[in-house]
């Protein structure tokens, strides 16, 4: 089996309250990633900007055709000939709220796939600390895959991570890389983040690329960081910390075929039914 090497960079950016700050933060790390030879650059959720108001997240929003962060990142991808995972941008939705939208750009800066996050983060972290993303708009309802020359990317966002059926379906559709851009809260991220990303890799025999935003959010709260690149055996190949920076790993995508041949769990799924209630 021929090797299929790919240099991946997670760009661990800070949540910025406006478009200009978000784009500047992303481009500085993107330049460094290209200098390190990365062919796939992955940005966190809300890399287009993030603020909070009480229990609600309030990212700055703009239509795709007018979004300055999208335009700037597309220009960068085209000039440097790299693929980019835009973790997410806030896009006005048809219901009057916003859609939390992830995108994959090809090496000409074209959008190859879009994914509107399906599972929203509505939680009570404590009696006094809550977060309700549903206050800002409705969820998506369609899974997404992005075909790149190096392999097939299955797209997800943040709290999708707690919903393993999505990743199973993406893997069964052929995804070799499972993308999990996130802005996990610092309070919520410590225990589940690493464990769940490794679990999604092991369950599906896939690489997991999980860029995480890091640091304080204007208006309150903070993001966990600790971006991850995980191999299909569940081994952590690279991990970020509590500060902005690059998380880099060179992977061999041929490992996915090897793992799935040795442990063919995707082919082993069987239908079943739950016992009837008395």
Q: In this predicted model, what pLDDT tens digit does every residue of 24-45 receive, in sequence order?
A: 999 999 999 999 999 999 999 9
Is the pLDDT reported for residue 129 higher than 60? no
Calculate the alpha carbon distances from 275 to 164, 165, 173, 268, 269 in Å: 22, 20, 29, 21, 19
Q: Pairing mode, if any, of strands 56-57 and 83-92?
A: unpaired
Query: What distance in Å separates the CA atoms of residue 247 and residue 225, rounded to the nearest whole number?
Result: 11
- What is the arithmetic mean of pLDDT over 110-121? 87
User: Which is more confidently placed, 130 or 71?
Assistant: 71
> 127 pLDDT band (50/70/90 cuts)?
very low
Calculate the alpha carbon distances from 123 to 163, 173, 183 in Å: 15, 31, 14
> 189 pLDDT band (50/70/90 cuts)?
low
Q: From the CB of residue 249, how many other CB atoms can be counted at a distance below 10 Å?
A: 20
Q: From the CB of residue 152, how many other CB atoms can be counted at a distance below 10 Å?
A: 18
**For all residues of the chain together, what is the average pLDDT?**
92
The pLDDT assigned to 133 comes to 56
* Angle between helix 192-204 and 164-172 (nearest 10): 30
pTM of the model: 0.92
Angle, CA 127 vertex, CA 123 and CA 130 arms, to 5°: 30
Residue 261's SS3 state is: helix
> 121 pLDDT band (50/70/90 cuts)?
low
Q: Identify whether the C-beta of residue 104 lies closer than 8 Å to the C-beta of residue 85.
A: yes
Closest CA to 46 of 87, 84, 98, 99: 87
**E-assigned strands of 58-184?**
83-92, 98-105, 111-116, 122-124, 130-132, 145-148, 151-155, 177-179
> 116 pLDDT band (50/70/90 cuts)?
very high
- What is the arithmetic mean of pLDDT over 250-255? 98
């Amino acid at each position: 089996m021929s090797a299929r090497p790919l240099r991946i960079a997670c760009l661990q950016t800070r949540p910025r309250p406006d478009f200009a700050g978000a784009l500047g933060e992303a481009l500085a790390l993107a330049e460094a990633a290209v200098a390190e030879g990365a062919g796939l650059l992955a940005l966190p959720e809300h890399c287009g900007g993030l603020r909070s108001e009480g229990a609600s997240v309030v990212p700055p929003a703009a239509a795709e055709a007018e979004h300055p962060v999208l335009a700037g990142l597309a220009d960068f991808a085209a000039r440097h000939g790299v693929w980019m995972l835009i973790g997410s941008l806030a896009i006005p939705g048809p219901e009057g709220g916003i859609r939390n939208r992830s995108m994959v750009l090809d090496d000409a800066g074209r959008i190859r796939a879009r994914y509107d996050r399906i599972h929203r983060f509505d939680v009570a972290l404590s009696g006094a600390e809550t977060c309700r993303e549903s206050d800002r708009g409705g969820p998506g309802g369609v899974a997404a895959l992005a075909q790149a020359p190096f392999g097939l990317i299955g797209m997800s966002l943040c709290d999708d991570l707690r919903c393993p059926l999505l990743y199973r379906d993406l893997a069964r559709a052929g995804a070799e890389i499972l993308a999990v851009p996130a802005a996990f809260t610092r309070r919520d991220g410590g225990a589940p983040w690493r464990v769940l990303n490794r679990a999604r890799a092991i369950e599906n025999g896939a690489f997991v690329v999980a860029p995480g935003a890091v640091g304080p959010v204007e208006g309150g709260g903070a993001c966990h960081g600790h971006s991850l690149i995980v191999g299909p055996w569940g081994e952590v190949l690279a991990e970020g910390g509590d500060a902005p920076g690059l998380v880099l790993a060179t992977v061999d995508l041929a490992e996915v075929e090897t793992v799935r041949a040795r442990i063919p769990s995707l082919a082993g799924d069987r239908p079943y039914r739950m016992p009837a209630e008395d």
